[in-house]
Copies of this chain bind each other. A is one copy, B any other.
Amino acid sequence: MGRTQPEGPMGTASKALSLLNYFSRAQSQIGLSDLARLSGMNKATVYRLMGELADHGFVEQVGAGREYRLGPAFLRLAALREKAVPMRELALAELTKLSELTGETSHMSLLNGEVLSNLTYSYAHKHGTMVMMEDAEVLELHSTGSGLAVLAFSPAPFVDAILSKPLVARTPETVTDPAAIQALLPKIRKRGMAWSIGGYERDVYSHAVPIFDAGSQCIGAMAVAAPVSRMTDELRATIQTELALAARRTTRVLGGFPPDSFPKINPTDSPVESELT
């Protein structure tokens, strides 16, 4: 997936595909004029491109306003992808174990352009409260544990590009100073794990470990998210141990390899206190 976006003029196919990125959980239907405005393309161009997307079932038009929404073709293609590369299934198996062992919500997300999107998750049913997740939920790179884990193991130009944009504060705890975030990354690299305490959702204490592909590129992260109020030294130790193991198994089972620089797991390591505050 592309850490290769702004390369000269976009091809026509790319323009069509990029239109799909404006659909989200929050905005599932978009009209022609809106789409033209959002994309900065000419209305006629958008009209023709969306027509082509519609011919293939990638979008469909609905209702009186003739608004567009994502089409049914994705269900078929996602099933084919999952059959060829059962990422979701394999990740879910690890997450299920991880949630049982830790008693907390675990999830895995994939890098998609400049954000992470949630691939799948697993709840524990040990407590009356738990951190909630959603399919295809978007996680920002700068404000989440998973995002920091990914940043720490991504190429410097990519990191710089992300951190040079305005960083929105999701909570009062969110770190929005690029320099402060850059300073965190070496620690994360050394530990092979990132933390975030209340940076995304106020009361969520999150640990995250990067996941790598066959070329040792970081493609996403596996994470455990617990309520801040429930975090103890013991829980932290359990999460850190089990998450590291689960993430390593996941990278392996997906056919990937951690980079040589990635720290080896040592079971006798003492749990690490947060270094984010």
Residues of A within 8 A of B (CB): 1-2, 4-5, 11-18, 20, 23-25, 28-29, 48-49, 52-58, 60, 62-63, 69-85, 87-88, 110, 112, 117, 119, 134-136, 214, 219
Contact A25–B80 (Cβ < 8 Å): yes
Q: Could you say which of B72, B82, B84 contacts A81, with CB atoms under 8 Å apart?
A: B72
Complexed CA–CA distance, A146 and B87 (Å): 30
Residue of B18, B29, B75 near A82 (CB, 8 A) is B75
Residue of B with least CB distance to A7: B55
Tell me which of B56, B75, B83, B219 contacts A88 (CB under 8 A): B75
**A83 pairs with B136, CB closer than 8 A:** yes
Residues of B within 8 Å of A83, CB to CB, are 25, 28, 134-136
On whether the beta carbons of B76 and A110 are closer than 8 Å, the reply is yes
**Interchain CB contact under 8 A, A14 and B78:** no
What chain B residues lie within 8 Å of A117 (beta carbons)?
A: 76
Question: B74 and A81: CB pair below 8 A?
Answer: yes
The answer on a CB contact under 8 Å between A84 and B1 is: no
Known: A17-B52, A214-B62. A75 touches B78 (CB 8 A): yes
- A17: chain B residues within 8 A (beta carbon): 13, 16, 52-53, 56, 58
Chain B, Cβ-Cβ closest to A20: B77
Instruction: Please tell me if the beta carbons of A11 and B11 are within 8 angstroms of each other in the complex.
Output: no
Cβ contacts under 8 Å, A49 to chain B: 11, 13
- Complex CA gap A57/B49 in Å reads 19
Chain B residues contacting A71 (CB-CB under 8 Å) are 1, 81
Q: How far is the CA of A192 from the CA of B143 in the complex (A)?
A: 54
